[in-house]
Structure 1
């Protein structure tokens, strides 16, 4: 199982990945933008759908484990290792 930290920006002009960044402690996260607004979990749903499409896996294999109302979110992807995940997102 792979874990991915995402910094989500809702209400963007298009769904896209803006690349990898690091926080002050040196932890890497992926910057993602989605067009959905941050209302009633729509931005989180759009994030899961976008990542599933990008990773070519069913949405059911992705789950939001932390950060439901925060910009920084942790996503778990079943049946995928960290190396495979990073290769698909670069």
Structure 2
């Protein structure tokens, strides 16, 4: 994964956290917005979220996704390791 992809995934994850509701049960609700649904699907394709058993309207952060939200892309923390997605089976 190159630096541009890392930056894009980090930005997408932060936008999901900022604009979509994470309910007390841990489900992230896209409020039936197609952009929110596509963001969850894109992050799920990389292993940073999981599509809920309740369908495409909800997602859930994976461990890698929670690590991605903590990852800081600023130069001062360049030594910090980017949280790579889990390897697909």
**TM over 0.5: same fold?**
no
> Normalised by the size of structure 1, how large is the TM-score?
0.28
Higher RCO (CA 8 Å, separation ≥ 6 residues): 1
> Normalised by the size of structure 2, how large is the TM-score?
0.28
Larger Rg computed on CA atoms:
2
Q: Choose between structure 1 and 2: higher helix proportion.
A: 2
Q: Choose between structure 1 and 2: higher strand proportion.
A: 1
